[in-house]
Amino acid sequence: GEDVEQSLFLSVREGDSSVINCTYTDSSSTYLYWYKQEPGAGLQLLTYIFSNMDMKQDQRLTVLLNKKDKHLSLRIADTQTGDSAIYFCAENGPDSWGKLQFGAGTQVVVTP
Amino acid sequence: DADVTQTPRNRITKTGKRIMLECSQTKGHDRMYWYRQDPGLGLRLIYYSFDVKDINKGEISDGYSVSRQAQAKFSLSLESAIPNQTALYFCATSDPGQVGLETQYFGPGTRLLVL
């Protein structure tokens, strides 16, 4: 299947910005997603971006999409301790209708 | 109340035992999914169902089976559990909604340990 790759760990100080990166291989992806998994819980959709956009902003979250390089990033401004979680990048394309391909997840640890 | 529930939340079993993990949802969604999560591997799809009469294998279906008893219920069985099936298992649902947009709603997970 198609691969979605992410770095596994990110440490950030409270109040700084976090940037989580993701690369994907399916150039036909329709949407790309960021899911958040808090300790002991299931995944929850954080935000998504349509493939014909290159940026989406939602309060403290900024998603950047570079289709040429197949690179997706999530920036969290003013990172808080409540942002400590695992963040998953995911994609779906016309050949995977109704299904998502997830990356391995990036564990973000916010330190005081 | 949670929209997607899973039972049990934790389970310890022995090699060779048959076990069933259950998932129920109150979201009214037709689509349901079973994933397993392993550290460093992310989520991998085991089985999925787009309606009550539809069952499809995911990327890692060997050693697993499923049953879609109703729109709201989707069960995952391990016919003969083995230690490398030790993992965190998630059920999820989705609703087609906007064409191409796949928003999935996850249960809290079942942590399974096979000894």
Average pLDDT, chain A: 91
pLDDT, position B86: 97
Window 33-62 of B: residues touching A by CB (8 A cutoff) are 33, 40-45, 48, 50, 58-59
pLDDT surpasses 80 at B26: yes
Residue B115 has pLDDT above 60, yes or no: yes
Other beta carbons within 10 angstroms of residue B110's beta carbon come to 22
The answer to whether the CB of A65 falls within 8 A of the CB of A50 is no
Whether residue A42 and residue B109 make contact (CB cut-off 8 A), yes or no, is yes
CA distance A28 to B54: 26
| φ/ψ (deg, to 5) at A95 | -85, -5
How confident is residue A1, by pLDDT bands cut at 50, 70 and 90?
very low
What's the gap in Å between the CA of A12 and the closest CA on chain B?
20
H/E element holding A55?
Answer: strand A55-58
What pLDDT is recorded for position B4?
A: 96
**Which residues, in sequence order, are bridge partners of residue A35?**
A45, A88
Q: What is the pLDDT of residues B39-92, one digit of tens each?
A: 888 899 999 999 999 999 998 999 999 999 999 999 999 999 999 999 999 999
Contacts of B41 in chain A (CB under 8 A): 104
Cα–chain center distance at B27:
16
Number of CB pairs < 8 Å for A and B? 58
What values do phi and psi take at B84, rounded to 5?
-80, 5
A34 contacts chain B (CB < 8 A): no
Nearest one of A13, A17, A56, A9 to A34, comparing CA atoms: A56
Query: Taking the C-alpha atoms of A12, A16, A57 and A31 in order, what is their torsion angle to the nearest 10 degrees?
Result: -10
